[in-house]
Structure 1
Amino acid sequence: MRLTSMGCAGGRGRLRAGFGLAIVFLAAPAAGALPEPYAAPQATGTVEATVHCAAGSGDAQAIGFGLPLPRGFLADSSRLRLETPEGREVAADVVELARWRHFSDTSIDGKSIRAVLIAFTHDCARAATAQYVVRWGQARTLAAGTGITPANVAERTWGPQAEPSPLEHPQTDNYAIDTTAAPVREPHAWVGLPAAWLMQSNLRGPVAPIRAGIGRDWQIGFMRTYVNDVAADVTRFETGENGQGLIHWVNEFEGWLYDRPGVLWNAYVQTGDAKWLRHAHRATQFYASHIALEGRRGSFAKRPGDAKYAHAGGLFTAYLLTGDARLIERIRAVADLVATVPTRLPPFEKTTGLWTERHMSVAIGGALSAWEATGEAAYRTRVQRIVEGMRADVSQPPPGYPGATEMAGVLLHRPEVHEEGSFPDVVMSPWMAALMTEALWRYHLHSDDRRALQLLGDYAQFVAERAIEQEGVDWSPRYLSGLKGNYEGAEAEHAFNVLGLLARGRWARQKLGQPTGQIDTQIARLRVTADANFSRWVRPSAGVPRYRLSPTRKAGWWYGTTYDLAWFGYD
C-alpha cells in the first residue's frame, strides 16, 4: 500500500498549474560537448587541507582524516607527504584505504590509490584553525608514529558530538534526542578539503560547481532544514510530515530514505564547507549505528527488513573521508540484505510481491559500494549479473510480457507488483527509474559497459517520449507511465530528479551516437518545472522553516541523485 502525506513514501506532493514562471539557468549543451568523467592523471601536485579544532579540544591533538584522490594520481602511498604552507614537511603517517577499481580494464583496476588515511599531531591551543598542504609525487621522509590506523582512528581521535555553534539552531543535528541510539562521536579536530578537489575525486561520480546563484541558495536552504539548522524562531517539532517545524529523529524514519548520509556528503562535496563535513559525518554515524550486524543483518533498525532503507553509498563516502574501518562491516551488511532483492522481472502471471525500480537501485548500489570498498569478487559478480539480467529482460522479455520492440529497452512490469492496483498495462516509474539509473551510471563509471549506456539511453528516451505531460502551463513526469497511457497524475515534485535521469541518458546516447532531440526538449521543460517547484517551497513565515521539506524525505530524492547535474551542464 502506498504511504501518503503529500502522497506516497516516494513523495506525491503535487504542484498546481500556473508555476511556469521560472528561470532556465542553462540551455542544453551543444551536441558535440561531451564531458569525460575522469580528470587526466597528474603525477605530482598539492591540495590544501584546513584544520578546524573543536571548541575546548585542548593542546596537541592527534588528527586522522581521509584524503580521496582522483583516479591515476597516486600509485604508492609512500610518495605522499604533509607540509606547511611554506613547504616544510610535517611528520605524518599515511595508510592506504582503497584503490581505484575497474570491472574489466586491467590497466586501471587496482593501479592507483583512491583514498588514504593521514594521521599527524596539531597544537589546537596554538592555532584553532590552520592550513596544511598535502603533496603527492614526492617521498615522505618524516613519520609521526601516531599508531593511528583505520581500525582505531575513531577511538583515538574522536570525542562526543559538540554542541551547535552560536550561529546554528539549538536543535541542529539533534540525534541525541533518540536516547535508544548510540551517542554520535566526531573528530576533536576536523580537516576540510577544497570543493574543487572533492569534486575532482569522483567520490560518487563527476561533479561541477552549481553556477546559478539561486540554485545554490535552494540547495543550501533545503539542506539546512534537513539538519534542523533553521531560524531561531522555529521552536516546535513538525506534526506528521507537514514541514511546519523541526524534525524529530525519534519519530522520523522516512527521512532516511534515498541515503540521507549520501545526500549530506553531496552537500559537502559541492561546497567544501566544513559545516557540511560535520553534518554528513554525524548523519553517517547515527545511521550506521542503526544498521543491524546480526539478526536481520543490514536492516535499518527503524524499518527492519525493508531494503528501501538499506544504503551503502553514503557509508562508503564516509569511509573515504574519515578512514573509519568500522563502516566496512556495515557496508557488507547492507550488501547482504539487498542481495535478497529480486532483480529479474517476475513471471508475468505473478500479481503479488514487490518489484520496483527503487528496489533495483538499492540492489545495484549496495553491491557496487561493497565492491568499491573491498574489491571482493562476489560483489563484483553480483553487480554484473544484475546488469546482464536487465539487458536480457528487455532484449528477450519473459513469456507474457510485450516484445522487445515494445519494451523499448525499459523494464516494464505489471502495476500489481508496483503496488499500484490492477489495470491492463505494463508500467514504469520515472522517478524510481531516476534512482535506479543513477546506480547504473555509477556502475558504468567503473566498467565502461556499453550495456549500461544502452539502458541509460533507452530509459531517457522512453521517459522523454511517453512519460512527461503538460498539466496547466507546466510539464511534469507522470507518476507511472505505460504502453497504453500514463497513470496517477503529474509529479512536479519529481521534475528535478527525473531531470537527472534525462541528463545521464542524454550523455549515454551521445556516447552511442544516438539522437537526443526529444530528450533535449523535455530537459528544458522539466528545468522550468523544477525551478517553480523549489520556489513554491520557499515561504518566509514566522515560526516555520523558510525552506520547507514536506515530507523530509523529499530532500533525498531532490539532491541524492542530482549531484552531477551541473557537470552534465544543467544547474
Structure 2
Amino acid sequence: MHRLAGRGDDLPVTVGIPFPPRLLRDPRQVRIVDGDGREIPAAVASTLAWHFRDGSVRAVRVQFHAAPGIYYFTLDTSRKADIGGWPYASGLVDGRLAAIATLTPEWLTASLIAGPQSVAAADEPYARYVDGQFRWASALPTKDTTAWLFDRPSTLFKAYVRTGRADYLEAAEMSYRWYMAGIKRDGMPVSPSCGGGWLPDGKPCDVKYVYIEPVLLAVALTGDDSMHDAATVAKMAGLWDSGGWNGAPGPYRHPEDYFTERLAGLGLVETVAAYELTGDARFRQRIDARVGWLHDHQRMNPDGLGDDGSWRNSWNVHENDPHGGGDVRGASPWMSENIVDGLWHAWLVTADPRIPGMLTDFGRYLERYGWIDPQRLVPPHDWRNDCSGPHGQIAWYWSSSQAKADALMKIQDTEGWYSDGHTVELGLPVAAAWYFETDPAKAAALKKRFQAIAASYSPACAAISDTLRRFNWNNRGAGVAQWMMAQPAGAGMRQRTTSP
C-alpha cells in the first residue's frame, strides 16, 4: 500500500484482486492481514466471474483503512472483520487517489487477468523499452486526443501486470477515469447519435476510440466499477456492432469492399472484452461471427488470388481512392497485428479451433512477404530509423504477395519512412505463430526473427516521442509475446481443447 495524495496513517484504499480459475468460490474467504497475521477489517465484494470457464470468482474489490506498508490476503478461513464499503470516488483527494495498493507481478501474471503473461525480469530488454517509453508517456495527455488511439489505459494496466509497479498502475488508473468520463452515455449506439462513443475527440461515431478492455482491467486491478454500468458497456459494444461512421462490420465479400485491419482487429478485441466482462450471450455470438469473417477472408479471399496467409485487401480502397489506377492487393503488416491480438483474445475465451491455423498462416505470410530485405535498405531507400542499429528490422508499410517490388517501394517512399516504429508490436504476430507452429523449419525462422526484433528495444528507439500514441500501439498487445516465446514451439496446439 503506497501513499499518494492522502495524509496520516488511516488511509482509505480500494484494490482489485484477480484470481485464476478454480481458486476462489466464495469472496468471504478473502481476508486482509498485516505482517503479524492480524486481520484488518475490510469490505470485500465479487466483481468478475470466470463465466466462460468454471464459474469461479475472477476478481474481488477490497476496501480497508491502514497505513502505508505491506499487507497480505489469505484464503484459508472466512473473514471475521467486515466493514461497510464506500464509493470509489470517496478515496480521491483532489482527483488523485489517497493511496494505491499493488500486487506482486507473480500473482498478477498467474491470475490470467490479461491472459498468460510472464513476469518482467529486471534485465529484460523489452521491459526496459517500456520503461524508457514511459519516461515521456507517463503524463496524462488531456490535450492530444490521438494519444488515446490503440487504448492507453489497457497498455498501462498490462505494463503493471508484468511488473507490479505502482507508477504504471497509478497512470493506468488516472488514464482510465479520464477516458471513461468522456464516454457518451445517452442515445442509441448507431450513427448519428452514437451512444457509447468517445466525446473528447469530437467524433463520437469514430469506433476506433471505443475501448471496453480497460473496463475489464480496471475492475479487476483497481476495484473501480464506478465508471460503467451494463447499459454503458452494451452501448459501447453496440457501437462496434453498428460501426458508427464506418458502417456495419461484416464479411469481406468483394475485392472492392472497404476493410481496415485496425477496425477488424480492435472490433474483435473489444467484443471479447465485453463478453469477458458481462457473460452476455450476444457478445459471444458476435465473437464467433467476427472470427468467421476473418477466417473466410483469409482462406477464401473473393479476389480469387488464393490464400497467402494475409487478410488481403485493396490499397486504393484503403486510401479512399477506389477508382484509382495501379491498385496493389496486399495488407498492412503492423495494422494486421490488431487482428492477431483480437484472434489471441478470442482464443483465450473460446478455444476456437480455426484460430491457431489463422495465426500460423499469417506468421508465414509475414516471414515471406512482410519484412523488407536488408539488401534493399540502401540510399535513397534506407527507410529505417538509425536507433535500431545495423540489425534493425523494418516491415513494408504495405506488403503484398502479388505486387512487384517497385509498387511496394513507391508506397514505402511516400508513406513508409521510419515505419520501423511499428516493429516492436510485430513481435506479437511472430510469437503467436511460434506458439502454434509445428513445422520445425518455420518455427526456427520465427525464433530468429523474434530475436532480431530485439534491436528495436534499444534505449534510443524507446526515447523517440514524436507521437504519444506510439506507446500504445507498440505495447498494448506485445507484452504477451515474451511469454509466448518462452513456451516450446507449437505448445498451443497441445492445448486446443482448453485455452491457456
TM-score class, shorter-chain normalisation, is: 0.7 to 0.9
1:330-345 alignment, distance < 5 Å: 330-341=232-243, 342-345=248-251
Matched, 1:73 2:23: yes
Matched, 1:452 2:452: no
The residue that corresponds to 1:238 in the other structure is none
Tell me what 1:567 maps to.
483
Is 1:470 the counterpart of 2:373 in the alignment?
yes
Measure how far apart 1:368 and its partner are. Answer: 1.1
Q: Name 1:502's counterpart in structure 2.
A: 430
Aligned-residue offset at 1:349: 5.5
- The offset of 1:363, in angstroms, is 1.1
Task: Give the match for residue 321 of structure 1.
Answer: 221
**8 Å contact 2:393–2:455 — kept in the other structure?**
no
Matched, 1:147 2:65: no
Contact 1:431 1:494 (C-alpha < 8 Å) held by counterparts? yes
Give me the whole-angstrom Cα distance separating, in 1, the residues matched to 2:253 and 2:330.
15
Alignment of 1:275-294 (within 5 A): 275-294=167-186
Measured after TM superposition, the shift of residue 270 of structure 1 is 2.0
Query: Please, which of 432, 435, 438 is the counterpart of residue 335 of structure 2?
Result: 432
**What SS does the aligned partner of 1:119 have?**
strand
Distance 1:74 1:213 in 2: 32
Deviations 1:448-495 (A, max 9, x none): 111111211111111112211223365421112223136333632222
2:200 equivalent to 1:308: no
Change (3 A) 1:475 1:157: closer
* Displacement after TM superposition at 1:413 (Å): 1.5
Match of 2:58 in 1: 114
Normalising by structure 2, report the TM-score.
0.82
Instruction: Deviation per CA, 1:286-329: give whole Å up to 9, x if none.
Output: 11111211242222221321111111212220111222223333
- The range that moved more, 70-79 or 465-474, is 465-474
What is the Cα deviation at residue 223 of structure 1?
Answer: 1.1
Bigger helix share: 2
Pair 254,530 (structure 1): closer, same or farther in 2 beyond 3 Å: farther
Which one of 59, 84, 93 corresponds to residue 159 of structure 1? 93
Aligned partner letter, 1:371: Y
Question: Structure 2, unaligned stretches of length 5 or more?
Answer: 187-192, 378-389, 488-500
Deviation at residue 157 of structure 1 after TM alignment? 2.4
1:521 Cα deviation from its structure 2 partner: 2.2
Matched, 1:266 2:158: yes
Cα displacement (A) at 1:425: 3.9
The corresponding residue for 2:279 is: 375
Question: After superposition, where does 1:87-236 map in structure 2 within 5 Å?
Answer: 87-102=37-52, 108-110=53-55, 112-122=56-66, 127=67, 129-144=68-83, 146-148=84-86, 152=87, 154-161=88-95, 186-211=96-121, 212-228=123-139
SS of the residue corresponding to residue 397 of structure 2 reads: strand
Q: Partners in 1 of 2:42 and 2:30 — Cα distance?
A: 10
On the 8 A contact 1:493/1:530 being kept in 2, the answer is no
TM superposition score normalised by structure 1: 0.72
Give the superposed CA RMSD: 2.5
Residue 522 of structure 1: how far off its partner (Å): 4.8
Q: Quick one: distance in 2 between partners of 1:248 and 1:380?
A: 34
Question: 1:95/1:529 Cα in 2 relative to 1: closer, same or farther (>3 Å)?
Answer: closer
Higher relative contact order (CA 8 A, sep 6+): 1
What is the one-letter code of the residue matched to 2:317?
Answer: V
1:120 alignment partner, SS class: strand
- 1:57 aligns to 2:7 (yes or no): yes
**Residue type matched to 2:465 in 1?**
L
Per the TM alignment, residue 516 of structure 1 is displaced from its structure 2 partner at its CA by 5.2
Name the SS of the counterpart of 1:139 in structure 2: coil
* 1:362-413: CA deviation from partner (whole Å, max 9, x where unpaired): 2111211111111111111111111122223334444xx225xx22443212
Tell me, in whole angstroms, the C-alpha distance in 1 between the residues paired with 2:222 and 2:289: 31
On the 8 A contact 2:310/2:362 being kept in 1, the answer is: yes
The one-letter code sitting in structure 2 at the alignment partner of 1:136 is L
8 Å CA contact 1:96, 1:113 repeated in 2:
yes
**Mapped partners of 2:352, 2:31: distance in 1:** 36
2:195 is matched with which residue? 297
Q: CA deviation at 1:113?
A: 0.9
Structure 1 residue identity aligned to 2:452: V
User: Against the structure 1 CA distance between its residues 86 and 68, is the aligned structure 2 distance closer, same or farther, given a 3 Å change threshold?
Assistant: same
**1:237-256 → structure 2 map (5 Å cutoff):** 249-250=142-143, 252-256=144-148
Distance 1:526 1:551 in 2: 25
- 1:92 is displaced (CA, Å) by 1.8
Q: Which of residues 540, 546, 550 is equivalent to 2:466?
A: 550
- Unpaired runs of 5+ residues, structure 1, are 1-50, 103-107, 162-185, 229-246, 539-546
The separation in 1 between residues aligned to 2:362 and 2:30, in whole angstroms, is: 43
Question: What displacement does 1:570 show?
Answer: 6.6
Moved more, 76-85 or 211-220: 211-220
- The secondary structure found in structure 2 opposite 1:556 is helix
Q: CA deviation at 1:526?
A: 5.3
> Cα distance, 1:537 vs. partner?
3.2
Tell me the CA shift for residue 88 of structure 1: 2.2
> 1:570/1:498 Cα in 2 relative to 1: closer, same or farther (>3 Å)?
farther
Q: CA 1:214–1:376 in structure 2 vs 1: closer, same or farther (change >3 Å)? A: closer
Number of paired residues? Answer: 444
Q: For residues 130 and 290 of structure 1, do their structure 2 counterparts lie closer, same or farther at Cα, with a shift above 3 Å needed?
A: same
